[in-house]
Structure 1
Amino acid sequence: MIWKTVLVVCLAVGTLAEYQISDDEREKVKEAIAAQCKKNGAEDKADDVQKAGKTFLECLKAQIDPATIQKEIEEAKPKGALDEVFGKYCARSPQLKSCFNTLIDSVSPCLDSEVRNQAEAVKNGTAQLLDFVCHKDGDRIALFIAEKGPECFKDQAAKLRQCGEPIQKSFSSIEDIKKLSLVEKCQKFDEVSTCLVNALEECPNPTPGNMAESLIKYVRKGSPCNTALPKN
């Protein structure tokens, strides 16, 4: 649970680079980072965190260019060669893991101690996610696209968003979330997960829902929830 939260925060930091935000918004993000670092006794690390966001995005772009991948996917579909496309990019998973690990190490000094102590768990979680997606050189993601997974997500977008609304409305601040016990957090995770899978299962093709369920189970198995709140 914690590693997912940290990754979201880290990706938000990445928007500092120069991507789709105004100067005013960028300044607000910088102020928020400075305040977070000061709160955790690492005021001198704020500049490093800001630079880490840009470095992270540059690291990702060096390995994966979305426009190029989309073009390659479209060209590969008629040929039935999606596995070749994803096999090529999955071969870069060690570099992608390094991108994430460097970012996590860079922002770690400014994170709350509870989260900072879970840095290794965050790295392991990221590695597990990439390993799942790149199983057998990416055959899972190739199958997902071939079986109209992206179309399923698009069709069910409204219902997928609704899955998180009850939780968003039940908490007025991050502090409220921190007060939850691990078991309570895991229960919330399971509620949202079940909702997401149910929404995707409404698609004509069962593959997207099945793959989402497999991914969620895989992630959960590697999280503290696996022992704190075992599932039958």
Structure 2
Amino acid sequence: MMWKTVLITIFAAGVLADDFSQITAVVTSQCTKNNAEDKVPEVEAALRTFGNCLKGLVDLNVLKTEIEEAKPNGALDEVFKKYCDKSAQLKGCISSVLQGVRPCVGNEYANHINDAQNSTNQLIDFVCYKDGDRIALFIAEGGPECFQQKTENLKTCFLNLKQSFPTVESANNLSLVEKCAKVDEMTSCIVKSLEECSTPTPANMAESLIKFMRKDSPCHTALPVSIV
């Protein structure tokens, strides 16, 4: 499920680009693989609608300017409150696109669309807790810079997990507990990498987010252990 969710995310990110040709190629390939060539226009339309929905909620260039202007004044919380007030609309956008790509993700993964929806809703709720106080603190405390500094370390964490699931068959051969243990290894790797930054906030925030999302996952009951 993890890699299908990543694929959906790639679809979603691509609709913000001016050149849609690469997304068309990916959609066509994915739909063809799942014997749904006739659904290509439908999925493309869903992705375009999603892109327009996002653009209507946030202009990334404007947001970046607002963040930079707010930093010296300690007004980041005001910036994120404005955008978190739109979280309900964002959830609606995401729900629509997840349903829209359903015809081309295959029957095995289509059954997990609701799980993906719940996960994204949890992420939005976490980020927008208390009108975005968490994300404001994360940026004020150098969170983005920390992630940038540790890019290679984080890539290694993800690569190690990917190597644990080289194929769908190999993933299916693992028990739920084994899968959860592999994911926990990755998340522990992420937190420990971020702990090397100059402030503890990025690592603390990442750990809090992971625990927040994990508590409503099957791993919470299958493998109730700390991630670090």
TM-score (norm 1): 0.88
CA 1:164–1:95: 2 relative to 1, 3 Å: same
Q: 1:180 aligns with which of 170, 174, 180?
A: 174
d(CA) in 1 for partners of 2:154, 2:65: 27
RCO comparison, higher one (Cα < 8 Å, 6+): 1
Question: What stretches of structure 2 of length at least 5 have no aligned partner?
Answer: none
Residue 168 of structure 1 pairs with residue 166 of structure 2: no
Moved more, 157-166 or 207-216: 157-166
User: Aligned pair count?
Assistant: 226
Q: 1:189 aligns with which of 180, 183, 187?
A: 183
AA in 1 matched with 2:61: A
Give how far 1:181 is off: 2.9
Question: What stretches of structure 1 of length at least 5 have no aligned partner?
Answer: none
Q: Which residue of 1 aligns with 2:7?
A: 9
1:29-108 maps to which residues of 2 (within 5 A)?
29-38=26-35, 42-108=36-102
AA in 2 matched with 1:64: V
Q: Which residue of 2 aligns with 1:125?
A: 119
CA 1:211–1:17: 2 relative to 1, 3 Å: closer
Q: Is the 8 A contact 1:160 1:199 kept in 2?
A: yes
Q: Aligned-residue CA RMSD in angstroms? A: 2.1
Q: Which residue of 2 aligns with 1:19?
A: 17
CA 1:214–1:18: 2 relative to 1, 3 Å: closer
d(CA) in 2 for partners of 1:18, 1:116: 24
- Deviation readout 1:6-30 (Å, 9 max, x if unpaired): 432222223664727684x455314
**Percent sequence identity over aligned pairs:** 47
Give how far 1:110 is off: 2.5
- Deviation readout 1:90-122 (Å, 9 max, x if unpaired): 000001000100011111232232322222222
Q: Is the 8 A contact 2:126 2:209 kept in 1?
A: yes
Q: Which residue of 2 aligns with 1:229?
A: 223
d(CA) in 1 for partners of 2:188, 2:129: 24
d(CA) in 1 for partners of 2:216, 2:82: 26
TM-score (norm 2): 0.89
Q: 2:135 aligns with which of 123, 136, 141?
A: 141
